Amino acid sequence: MSEEILVNVTPMETRVAVVDNGATQDVHIERTVNRGIAGNIYAGKVVRVLPGMQAAFVDIGVERTSFIHASDIVSLDSKGREDNSRNSDNISDHLHEGKKVIVQVTKDPLGSKGARLTSQLSVSTRYLVLMPQTDHIGVSQLIEDPVERERLQALLAQGLAAEDMTDAGGFILRTAAEGVGLEEISADLRFLKRLWAAVSRRARAASKAELLYEDLPLHLRTVRDLARSSVERIYIDSRESHAALQEFCSEYVPEVSSRLEHYVGERPLFDMHGVEDEIQRGLGRKVDLKSGGYLILDQTEAMTTIDVNTGSFVGRSNQAETILKTNLEAVSALARQLRVRNLGGIIIIDFIDMADAEHRRQVHRTLEKAMQRDPARNQITGVSELGLVEMTRKRTRESLERMLCEECPVCQGRGVLKTAETVCYEIFREIMRDARAYENDTLMVLAAQSVVDRLLDEESANLSDLEEFIGKTISFRAEPNYSQEHFDIILL
Ligand SMILES: [Zn+2]
């Protein structure tokens, strides 16, 4: 299997795609404006202690002065570990003006409010959170199975011993760690070891307010999380980001360095590998299959439904075979769509009915195999009485649609509009109401072009009957910014 990672960098956004044998599998997008400073670690200087509020203002080198409360300050012993014996709620016991502090941002600055800080530090990877000031080992509460919880704790202990990190501090095994092996845990441990050594070094050396650590930008995070051994090449289309990535890799993931490549081709990187088209397709409702069949994907609040359809007329002679072929093709297409669109939660698949039990089993097996290759945790839960396949898929980031789209303001997300005919009849009813209530001789209807056209064409006979019946004149004006459902009636 040959996987490639493509990184497209612009000042506004960074996009990363994972391409497997030429087919786009994952798309990650990070927009610059959405990046805050929460999670960043700074060396800061106390500017003012506020004993009345049990808080202090700290300069961390960002625009507004940040804020730390006494309850967010931990006392440390000489080895840098939490020292509960020296706990005090009195801010003056911890801080004084001019003191250098190492802090982490817990809340982004908002409006006139500065960032909120804590002195309890933590850094995370895909599977682990390192809390260097504690020695507590924990497992995410979302992993419920006691056997799995125990397995992960044992795995972590094994990894810590192997990496010579038994005194590295406390760890939390994140929900995403469920089911992973020693190799993944150890890779994260090695990364955290190097990272924390670098942060500590910078913290000791810092003499003024300074950024010590920030959560990695998307392309670095992706390389850290996705650069498995199956990844053959990583292409980056920005010289600057390529250099930064090169530096990042040599410091933290040296095994990846040789696979980085600066893409300098004429054609945009995402165009060349068909990713741009794939993103557009990933936003549509219909996905065509090569055999002529197609998928219809509908995302609702509660679940995603995928309907498999045969395309044109299916011949009688080889009907069962054609249906099987279409369903099998649908399996690989939908497995890929789930990843590209990053759909989560309950997923219901309606395959084309298969009379042959062996065909049904074959489709089911193929689906299981396809879903095993999906890095997001998923489970095929069963087949309903009506033949619907039910499954769940865990998602850790927003779906492609949420990321790139907003609700349609015309139909408010329903996906359908009242027909011009329906709106015409609503207008007629409203005119009747107004004609009874008011004495004016003339009424003016403001509506969308399509509705006005219909009133003056197909509905013209009804309209003149209505005018006669109410004894009033009705005039019209097409309003280009009205949607088809939107109209107003004005008394003149
Ligand atoms: Zn709409």
Rg of the chain over CA atoms, in angstroms?
30
The residue among 468, 481, 479, 482 whose CA lies nearest residue 431 is 468
Kindly state the average pLDDT of the residues 408-416.
Answer: 83
Rounded distance from Cα 449 to ligand 1 centre (Å): 17
Question: What is the pLDDT at residue 314?
Answer: 59
Rounded distance from Cα 412 to ligand 1 centre (Å): 6
| Residues near ion ligand 1 (Cβ under 5 Å) | 408, 410-411
One-letter identity of residue 446: L
Return mean pLDDT, the chain.
89
- CB 339, CB 296: distance < 8 Å: no
Rounded distance from Cα 420 to ligand 1 centre (Å): 15
The residue among 167, 87, 176 whose CA lies nearest residue 134 is 167
Please give the torsion angle defined by the CA atoms of residues 139, 140, 145 and 151, in that order, rounded to the nearest 10 degrees.
-30
- Alpha carbon distances (Å) from 13 to 10, 27, 217, 241: 5, 13, 10, 12
Give residue-wise pLDDT tens across range 179-217: 889 988 998 999 899 999 999 999 999 989 999 998 888
Q: State the Cα–Cα distance between residues 46 and 60, nearest whole angstrom.
A: 9
Max avg pLDDT among 325-334, 390-399, 435-444:
325-334
φ/ψ bin of 274: left (φ > 0), alpha (ψ from -120 to 50), beta (otherwise) = left
Question: What is the pLDDT at residue 86?
Answer: 67
Instruction: Give me the residue label for tokens 């996905």.
Output: 287
Question: What is the pLDDT at residue 396?
Answer: 67
Kindly state the average pLDDT of the residues 279-298.
Answer: 92
Question: What is the pLDDT at residue 316?
Answer: 62
Q: Indicate yes or no: pTM above 0.75.
A: no
Rounded distance from Cα 299 to ligand 1 centre (Å): 14
Q: State the Cα–Cα distance between residues 262 and 9, nearest whole angstrom.
A: 12
Beta pairing partners, 477: 446
Give residue-wise pLDDT tens across range 236-247: 999 999 999 998
Question: What is the pLDDT at residue 1?
Answer: 57
Rounded distance from Cα 485 to ligand 1 centre (Å): 11
Rounded distance from Cα 255 to ligand 1 centre (Å): 48
Write b or e for each residue in 159-179: b if 16 or more Cβ atoms lie within 10 A of its Cβ, otherwise e: bbeebebeebbbbbbbebbbe
Element (H, E) at 286: strand 286-288
Question: What is the pLDDT at residue 228?
Answer: 66
Phi/psi for 351 (5° steps) reads -75, 165
